[in-house]
Amino acid sequence: MRRHLIWMAATATAAVVSLAGCGDAGSSGTEAPPSAAAGAGCAPVAGDKLVVLEDDKKLQNTDNVLPAVNQKASSPELIAALDKASATLDTTKLIALNKAVAVDRKSSKAAAEEFATANSLTAGLAKGPGGNLTIGAADFPESATLAQLYGVVATAAGYTVKVQTIGNRELYEPALEKGDLDVVPEYAATLATFLAGKVEGKNAKDPSSPELQTTITNLTALGEKRGLVFGKPSAAQDQNAFAVTTAFADKNGLKTLSDLAAKCSGAETVLGGPAECPQRPKCQQGLVETYDFKAGKFSSLDAGGPLTLTALKTGTVSVGLVFSSDPALAGS
């Protein structure tokens, strides 16, 4: 399971149906809205390379990678070391790190060490108070690699580091608060939403935002109430995104989701994603409300997984929901 608070369940059933989620939340996804058929749309185009369309109107929230640190374990030298890693990391480099593990079959530790060397991350780091430091990781490869990267810079800052895979957020976040873990790689918007639920209960307002500074301000305030502090957010994001083949983008002149809506709303366009996508505010419903994008058909696949990636590459769907740091996007 990936790091997201999954708002959509994956399904292994691949079926193409007429699209309805262009309406209100809760619509069944079985009727085509009248406006969807108004244009011809853009039929799928097969291709080996994928590209994410820019979310130019900021539909998605800011799930930037950042280190979450137990306040008692924090020191200026540790935060400075973690911040140096964050300053170097962007989404393209995160994709490359994920490819090194998933495709090139390197260990998370080897990939992290090579990245640190290539980007001179350990040079000039000040020594902190030292001692033992336990860095936790969630149980998916990206988190493990980020934890190893934090371990490299923390070691250079004078700490004796152990990296430990814990599991999902419901397990590792309480351990971080308790001090059984000292540092964990996290995702700003998702963690802010998670902590708001712990601090404010079931009626908590969503603290995440398409604006990074708003998300970080809210996350920092929530962290203070749980004994957590945070390093600076990196430019790297692992969040929901919409991808097309580069052949499809080139054929239709697409760079942004606004381009997709303007040029490809219509009957021939097929949107692919998890079964719940038509009713979800960060999936098809959001594309309609934010971009006025209306596809002609919806293909029920998975949440950024192999079904969606294969459907894009084989020309079964025009556009599909992916994760922005997926190694399948490497070289695109």
- Higher-confidence residue of 202 and 332: namely 202
In order of their start, the domains of the chain are 15-59+239-329 (3.40.190.120), 65-230 (3.10.105)
Condensed to tens digits (0 to 9), the pLDDT of residues 281-317 reads 999 999 999 999 999 999 999 999 999 999 999 999 9
pLDDT surpassing 80 at residue 27: no
pLDDT surpassing 80 at residue 186: yes
What local confidence, expressed as pLDDT, does residue 59 receive?
96
What local confidence, expressed as pLDDT, does residue 63 receive?
97
Angle between helices 91-102 and 108-118 (to 10 degrees): 140
Condensed to tens digits (0 to 9), the pLDDT of residues 91-118 reads 999 999 999 999 999 999 999 999 999 9
Dist. CA 77–CA 56, nearest whole Å: 37
Question: Which of these, 89, 90, 56, 94, lies nearest to 325 by C-alpha position?
Answer: 94
Give the pLDDT band (50/70/90) at residue 202: confident
What local confidence, expressed as pLDDT, does residue 287 receive?
98
Over residues 59-77, the mean pLDDT reads 97
Other C-beta atoms closer than 10 Å to the C-beta of 303 total: 24
Q: What percent of the chain has pLDDT over 90?
A: 87
What local confidence, expressed as pLDDT, does residue 38 receive?
55
pLDDT surpassing 60 at residue 31: no
pLDDT surpassing 90 at residue 227: yes
Over residues 109-135, the mean pLDDT reads 97
* Sheet containing 319-323, strands listed edge to edge, beginning at the edge strand earlier in sequence: 15-18, 295-300, 266-273, 319-323, 240-245, 50-52
Residues in the chain: 332
Give the pLDDT band (50/70/90) at residue 189: very high
What local confidence, expressed as pLDDT, does residue 332 receive?
61
